[in-house]
Structure 1
Amino acid sequence: MADFSSLGLSDWLINQCKQLGISKPTPVQEHCVPVILQGRDCMGCAKTGSGKTAAFVLPVLQKLSEDPYGIFCLVLTPTRELAYQIAEQFRVLGKPLGLKDCIVVGGMDMVSQALALSNKPHVVVATPGRLADHIRSSDTFSMSKIQFLILDEADRLLDQGCTDFTKDLETIMGILPAKRQTLLFSATLTDTLQELKNIAMNKPFFWESKSETRTVEELDQRYILTPEKVKDAYLVHLIQTFTDEHDDWSIIIFTNTCKSCQILSMMLREFNFPTIRLHSMMKQKQRFANLAMFKAGVYKILIATDVASRGLDIPSVQVVINHNAPGRPKIYIHRVGRTARAGRNGVSITLVTQYDIHLVQAVEEQIQTKLKEYPVEEKEVLKILTQVNVTRRQCEIKLEATDFDEKKEINKRKQLILEGKDPDLEAKRKAELEKIRSRKKLFKQKIRQSIQKQKHGRMKRKQKEALA
């Protein structure tokens, strides 16, 4: 295997890597760093935990040391937590340069962010929505001379199904220079090859990990088949089992909605599990504080929505539990990628109901691996079933008393106002669309019923003719 000096990196950068305990490059670094140093655009696709962030941070810092100016590099990423993690890596590796960075994400003060941008930092790490807001509302900074545009978790950023991201990206692209290097990195990039061709100019280099599977070999991937009503009892039983056997293990539980995340966190605390939560309806400072406490091991169980599934490097996680089967295979890949990182072992367990079989089959097809059944003592689960269901219902009643759903609606209205839309008009438009969908559904049902009647009539006639 190559070492960092053979990649063309300067001695000061190699020393910084050594100080961090990084002695040899990973495959994604080995293949992508030299190409980026040559000035070519690059797209790297590799498993989670394979060192993708350093694959773009190292060459950017080397180029910056040769010609330091601000704003030199823009990094776009889909989540706030990931933005802070990337900025930290730039800061640590770029310390000898006296690197100035700026983080531009939602949930934080816009005025202080605008001031930081006007001070011309070397590196800006941003979520598209907040940066686009600054571009629309301010002219105190310029990105017309940036040398690098980096899209981390590029598949999510370029997902055409996500209209808000797409709109914001168009605003950002409008102020960037045509002459620049564009770098895209993710664990799941297959659907975005066409997008790169549209925005990459300099002889784009494609590198994809040769492994057919999208998850690492050290990960033991399991499932538990459970009726919907018994799912929470299985979850409590699993956590009790893991905490009894390994009191130092860290566990992440993924769920699909903020409300579910909140309820599960309340419920598990009632069972005296050291639980903390992470979802998008929490204030940003609280999200950072909770994540820091989980990383530090103050709390051993994190319940999160998919806001925590992307790129977050928490090396000590031993177990990932999917409380719901993810709707898309790539969501599964990112979720389970939070464990078995950097060569460590890990376990992932997905709770599968009778309605989720097709979702698991889609996941297995994508990762080229069959999930194995996780053995559970059903008698033990049934013993706690009533207690778990009663506790959950009590937590739901408590949450309803806090106007959680109302707060969600208020947040939605705020977001629409920030986007320059009238919340009431949007609500009317949504209601009209719902009416149209209902009419279409009713119309289709009537057509199906009519066809069924005709078929039934034909069958009766044939039976009469046969009898005659």
Structure 2
Amino acid sequence: MAEFRALGLAPWLAEQARQVGLLRPTPVQAACIPPVLQGRDCLGCAKTGSGKTAAFVLPVLQVLSEDPYGIFCLVLTPTRYRTPAEAPGGPREAPGRAEPPLPVPPRRELAYQIAEQFRVLGKPLGLKDCVVVGGLDMVAQALELARKPHVVIATPGRLADHLRSSSTFSLRKIKFLVLDEADRLLEQGCTDFSADLELILEALPARRQTLLFSATLTATLSQLRALAANSPFFWEAEAQVRTVEELEQRYLLVPEALKDAYLVHLVQSFQDLHQDWAIIIFTKTCKDCQVLNMMLRKFNFPSVALHSMMKQKQRFAALAKFKSSIFKILIATDVAARGLDIPAVQLVINHNTPGLPKIYIHRVGRTARAGRRGTAITLVTQYDIHLVHAIEEEIKLKLQEFSVEEQLVLDILTQVNVTRRECEIVSAPW
């Protein structure tokens, strides 16, 4: 609590942070909170899981507590993201094998996560928030906006729709504009949002504080600096490509034909030792995600799936069950899990070795977040050795081998293979 107080936060807010488990500020919070409280614009760049959201939520709440009038803060987040393979000049995996882009992207879930942080940390204020994203009823959203919430978390397209369709909805009294994943909102060629963003920016007052947070820096840096024109403070975390020290990274060498049996054995072993652990299992395709979930549930493991072919309500429900510990195991594809903030994950298992080091870094970054310890185990077949070498070169760290008793795996092999085939037969066609 004293460390947050030293950043300039009020006692009540530092205490609220302590009650929700924020015991000491992360580097991005320690660097960015003081200049924001001083009234400066801010551009912060730090990796996922570094505490970027609280770095803007906490100072916004403090200033809000001094002047709680009308729509005080607007947070914009993109509705889709760029995967590492889509980066300009970036490598791509073989066509037809990777998961397709989300028809209903996960940024909607991210918008609700940001709203949840505002709600929890701002509880003593009686904070009112409003999430404005596509796919939901516009009339209900308009009624919420008419009640003058303190904070609006929105995707650009849907917020622009409200500005175009209503003559009474106004953003002229906004004190804070926050752009989450700012480079994605402003990057060149992102035509989906250019007109919408222009409309939104024109509707905002010139006198405001602008806070820009991103996991990466791109060629849009000059645009970001132009938006943050009020004595902008710039901070970038070091060692962006490295994984955190608190993360134990292991690999398990397995024959391709035995991979599912090894997975079941791993899950059973960790469940026996740590019944309260939350586990995320990453798969490459939606079909694998669905089949593995069905298979693990037949073995009585409390699992739930998250992939891009699920409907929005199904994904919301799956995430809620995992975050509330109703299910301890989440089986997810890379696209569906991108950007999701699930802080208390103790174990990540890669069912396949990622074809790109950046995908590996994203996956294992779901654990060992915000100073907590975590473990990541990657199943590596005889065909994946070169991929492991590429990962090790990128993260500047040699993965340690994880060993299991092979006979225990062979004992369940037939049962696992039969169960897998049954699940493939009854699973949805892809």
> How high is the TM-score relative to the length of structure 1?
0.74
Deviation at 1:304, TM superposition (A): 1.7
SS of the counterpart of 1:207?
Answer: strand
| Mean Cα deviation higher: 380-389 or 320-329 | 380-389
Deviation at 1:199, TM superposition (A): 3.4
Unpaired stretches in structure 1, ≥5 consecutive residues: 406-468
Q: How does 1:61-76 map to 2 (within 5 A)?
A: 61-76=61-76
Identify if the C-alpha distance between structure 1 residues 390 and 192 changes in structure 2 by more than 3 Å, giving closer, same or farther: farther
Choose between structure 1 and 2: higher helix proportion.
1
SS of the counterpart of 1:3?
Answer: helix
CA distance in structure 2 between the partners assigned to 1:244 and 1:271 by the alignment:
14
- What amino acid is the match of 1:10? A
Q: Which residue of 2 aligns with 1:53?
A: 53
8 Å contact 1:114–1:140 — kept in the other structure?
A: no
| Mean Cα deviation higher: 260-269 or 63-72 | 63-72
Q: Which residue of 1 aligns with 2:419?
A: 391
8 Å contact 1:187–1:214 — kept in the other structure?
A: no
Length, aligned pairs only:
401
CA distance in structure 2 between the partners assigned to 1:179 and 1:170 by the alignment:
17
- What amino acid is the match of 1:31? A
Q: Which residue of 1 aligns with 2:94?
A: none
Identify if the C-alpha distance between structure 1 residues 244 and 364 changes in structure 2 by more than 3 Å, giving closer, same or farther: same
Q: Is 2:46 aligned against 1:43?
A: no
8 Å contact 2:109–2:340 — kept in the other structure?
A: no
Q: Is 2:337 aligned against 1:308?
A: yes
CA distance in structure 1 between the partners assigned to 2:382 and 2:192 by the alignment:
33
8 Å contact 2:162–2:169 — kept in the other structure?
A: no
Q: Is 2:126 aligned against 1:103?
A: no
SS of the counterpart of 1:350?
Answer: strand
Q: Is 2:111 aligned against 1:83?
A: yes
| Mean Cα deviation higher: 303-312 or 164-173 | 164-173
| Mean Cα deviation higher: 2-11 or 54-63 | 2-11
Identify if the C-alpha distance between structure 1 residues 66 and 261 changes in structure 2 by more than 3 Å, giving closer, same or farther: same
Q: How does 1:223-372 map to 2 (within 5 A)?
A: 223-226=251-254, 228-306=256-334, 307-315=336-344, 317-353=345-381, 356=384, 359-372=387-400
Residue number among 175, 181, 197 corresponding to 2:209 in the alignment = 181
8 Å contact 1:213–1:368 — kept in the other structure?
A: no
CA distance in structure 2 between the partners assigned to 1:240 and 1:345 by the alignment:
21
Identify if the C-alpha distance between structure 1 residues 260 and 111 changes in structure 2 by more than 3 Å, giving closer, same or farther: farther
CA distance in structure 2 between the partners assigned to 1:226 and 1:174 by the alignment:
57
CA RMSD of the aligned region, Å?
Answer: 3.2
CA distance in structure 1 between the partners assigned to 2:354 and 2:184 by the alignment:
15
CA distance in structure 1 between the partners assigned to 2:162 and 2:390 by the alignment:
40
> How high is the TM-score relative to the length of structure 2?
0.80
Q: Which residue of 2 aligns with 1:423?
A: none
8 Å contact 2:183–2:221 — kept in the other structure?
A: no
Identify if the C-alpha distance between structure 1 residues 13 and 2 changes in structure 2 by more than 3 Å, giving closer, same or farther: closer
- What amino acid is the match of 2:276? D
SS of the counterpart of 1:92?
Answer: helix
Q: Is 2:147 aligned against 1:123?
A: no
Identify if the C-alpha distance between structure 1 residues 215 and 119 changes in structure 2 by more than 3 Å, giving closer, same or farther: same
CA distance in structure 2 between the partners assigned to 1:62 and 1:14 by the alignment:
10
Q: Is 2:25 aligned against 1:25?
A: yes
- What amino acid is the match of 2:10? S
CA distance in structure 2 between the partners assigned to 1:331 and 1:118 by the alignment:
42
Deviation at 1:126, TM superposition (A): 2.2
8 Å contact 2:47–2:240 — kept in the other structure?
A: no
8 Å contact 1:132–1:168 — kept in the other structure?
A: yes
- What amino acid is the match of 1:258? C
Alignment deviations for residues 427-457 of structure 1 (CA, whole Å, 9 cap, x no partner): xxxxxxxxxxxxxxxxxxxxxxxxxxxxxxx
> Alignment identity in percent?
72
Q: Is 2:35 aligned against 1:6?
A: no
CA distance in structure 1 between the partners assigned to 2:296 and 2:45 by the alignment:
37
Q: Which residue of 2 aligns with 1:440?
A: none
SS of the counterpart of 2:371?
Answer: coil
Identify if the C-alpha distance between structure 1 residues 114 and 270 changes in structure 2 by more than 3 Å, giving closer, same or farther: same
SS of the counterpart of 1:57?
Answer: helix
8 Å contact 2:43–2:228 — kept in the other structure?
A: no
| Greater RCO, 1 or 2 (C-alpha within 8 Å, sep 6+) | 2
CA distance in structure 1 between the partners assigned to 2:6 and 2:208 by the alignment:
25
| Mean Cα deviation higher: 195-204 or 296-305 | 195-204
Q: How does 1:116-155 map to 2 (within 5 A)?
A: 116-135=144-163, 137-154=165-182
Identify if the C-alpha distance between structure 1 residues 137 and 238 changes in structure 2 by more than 3 Å, giving closer, same or farther: farther
SS of the counterpart of 2:427?
Answer: helix
CA distance in structure 1 between the partners assigned to 2:290 and 2:6 by the alignment:
49
CA distance in structure 2 between the partners assigned to 1:55 and 1:245 by the alignment:
35
Deviation at 1:336, TM superposition (A): 1.8
Deviation at 1:35, TM superposition (A): 1.0
8 Å contact 1:311–1:334 — kept in the other structure?
A: no
Identify if the C-alpha distance between structure 1 residues 21 and 259 changes in structure 2 by more than 3 Å, giving closer, same or farther: closer
Alignment deviations for residues 16-73 of structure 1 (CA, whole Å, 9 cap, x no partner): 3344454543322221011112222222233444332221011112222333333221
* CA radius of gyration, larger in: 1
Alignment deviations for residues 190-239 of structure 1 (CA, whole Å, 9 cap, x no partner): 67645523533233322223456632211111223445544333322221
SS of the counterpart of 1:149?
Answer: strand
Q: Which runs of 4+ in 1 moved over 6 A?
A: none
Alignment deviations for residues 309-366 of structure 1 (CA, whole Å, 9 cap, x no partner): 4241332x21111223445444433322222233332111223456655554454344
SS of the counterpart of 2:346?
Answer: strand
CA distance in structure 2 between the partners assigned to 1:96 and 1:260 by the alignment:
44
